[in-house]
Chains A and B, each alone.
Chain A
Amino acid sequence: MLSALDKKIVNTISRDIPLAREPFKVLSQKIGISQSALLDKVRSYKKSGIMRKLSASINHRKAGFKYNAMVAWNISSERIDAAAEVMVSLPEVTHCYRRKKAPDWRYNLYAMIHGATKKACLRVVDKISRKTGDKDYRVLFSLEEYKKSGARYFER
């Protein structure tokens, strides 16, 4: 489990970090530890895998990827891992999860696809469908973005 200090660090570095020459120094002063102690922590988080990355988040719409489709597939549990393997091999697929079904929603595998055009997204869906042979799916393009923020991990 994370210590109180770890939680403080996680909270601090998961917010937009200052655009300064020595950002870790600024952050370490905020946290109340030395810069080298903070850098050691950051390296250890990366090494243990608890931190996925410390990098820029891009507004994909403004970066030319105007369309995002959440594609929900209904795939039998015996074949779901193989189908997911096909999906994750494609660079256009940024997220892929198996999720619980619901009585009125029979889909259990979700792939997020980003593209410059609707057509480009649909081409990827078609490619997946041809490769896996699965045809029971729904393409849910996002029509409006209401929120896209960084996670706040340990706030009350």
Chain B
Amino acid sequence: MSRSPNGMKNISALERRILNRIQEDLPFTPRPWRDMADELGIEEDSLLKSVAILKKKGIVRRISAVFDPRKIGSVSTLVAARVAPGNIHGAVKKINSYGEVTHNYRRAAEYNIWFTLIADNRKKITRIIDEIKGDKNIDKMTEFPAEKLYKIAVKFKA
């Protein structure tokens, strides 16, 4: 086991190379894992096995396509809520009950719950925000819609 610059100790050097590679596009070919394995100089089956282990360890959440919401006609936004400490459980339950909610975090600020929403139209976003706002666990809620995207590049060097 080698040590990575960010302190990930429980993975091998090969797993680290695989992790760095699979955060880039899969080859858009009939045998993407074989083609990626060729790049890495390993066998297709051992790559598939390693990825399965990384998933089992919870390091890889999923392998899936990510679309630009605006370019497919979807709407996304960021919402912040003020919730009293004793009401967080109830508020989170309400917020997370919507499939349109993709991220939800507690953060240290006067607005202590921050979540993102994505839906195929603005009306739906507004309706969901209004419904969540009506929850008795939530003291105040404010939407912070994006006005400009400067960067989105989620890749973690393993």
Contacts and interface: CB of A to CB of B under 8 A. Distances in A.
Nearest to A99: B144
A52 B152 contact: yes
A11 to B, nearest CB: 10
Contact of B156 (A43, A49, A58, A95): A58
B69 interface: yes
A48 B68 CA distance: 11
Contacts of B64: 13-17, 54, 57, 150
Nearest to B89: A146
A76 to B, nearest CB: 14
Contact of B152 (A39, A94, A143): A94
Nearest to A16: B62
- Interface SS of B by simple majority: mixed
Nearest to A54: B65
B106 interface: yes
B1 interface: no
B107 interface: yes
A78 interface: no
Contacts of B120: 153-154
A100 B149 CA distance: 12
A52 B68 contact: yes
Given A94-B154, A96-B151, A99-B144, A143 B44 contact: no
B93 to A, nearest CB: 9
A21 B105 contact: no
A4 interface: no
B151 A93 contact: yes
Interface in A124-156: 138, 140-155
Give the contact-size bracket for chain B: 35 or more
A114 B151 contact: no
Contact of A95 (B29, B61, B73, B154): B154
Contact of A99 (B62, B102, B107, B147): B147
Contacts of A94: 151-155
Contacts of A104: 110, 142
B51 interface: yes
A17 B63 contact: yes
Nearest to A95: B152
Contact of B7 (A54, A64, A140, A142): A64
19 contacts: A14-B65, A17-B64, A21-B44, A39-B28, A58-B19, A58-B59, A58-B60, A63-B156, A64-B8, A94-B151, A96-B152, A99-B78, A100-B143, A104-B142, A114-B156, A140-B107, A143-B106, A152-B99, A153-B69
Interface of A: 1-2, 10, 13-17, 19, 21-25, 35, 39, 42-43, 45-46, 48-60, 62-65, 70, 84-85, 87-88, 91, 93-100, 102, 104-105, 110, 114-116, 138, 140-155
